[in-house]
Amino acid sequence: MNEALERCARVLDAIVEVCGRAAAWTGLALVLVMAGNVLARYIFNVGSVAMQELEWHLMSPLTLLCIAYTVKHEGHVRVDIAYAHFPAVVREVIDLFSALCVVALSVIVIVLSWHYVKQSYVIGEGSPDPGGLPYRFILKAMIPAGFALLLLQSIAATLRAIQPFLGGGSHPASPVPTDARQ
C-alpha cells in the first residue's frame, strides 16, 4: 500500500518538477524584457505599452506556476522552532493537517478563479490601454493553473503524510532541519 502511495506521489512530483522548471525559464525572459524596456526608454527615448505589460504577463507564470515547485523543494518559509521539538507523531499530524489544508485551499482557489478566467475568455478581454496586449485570459489562467500544480504537490505531500498512519513508519516529506535539532 505504501509503495503504491509513494509511486503516485513520485508521479505528481515529476509533473510539478517539469512544469516548475519550464516556468522558471520565464524568469530569463522577464529579465531580458525588462532590460530591453530600460534600454529603449533611456537610450532611445521610446517605450511600448505592450512591452511593459509583457513584464507582468511573464511575472504571472513565474510566480504562480513556480509555487508548487518551491514547495516541492522546500524553498518556502517554514517555522521550525517549535516543530523541531515536537514528538514525531505530533509532527506527522501537523504534516498531514497542513497538506490537507493546502489541498482544500487549492481547490477553493481553482473553483473561484475558473469563472474569472472563463469570463475573460468569453468577452475577449484585452488590455484597456492603447497598444496593450490582447488575450488577458491567458494571464488570468495562470491563477487556476498555478493552484492546480500546487494541488498536485499537496496531494503528493498528503500521500506521504498518511503513510506513517498506515504503518509505514516516518516519512521523509518533512525532515527536521539539522540546525533545528540542536
Q: What is the pLDDT of residues 70-120, one digit of tens each?
A: 989 887 766 778 888 899 999 999 999 999 999 999 999 999 999 999 999
SS3 1: coil
User: pTM of the prediction?
Assistant: 0.83
> What single DSSP character describes residue 84?
G
Find all residues with CB under 8 Å of 123, minimum gap 6, and list them.
none
The span from the CA of 76 to the CA of 86, in Å, is 20
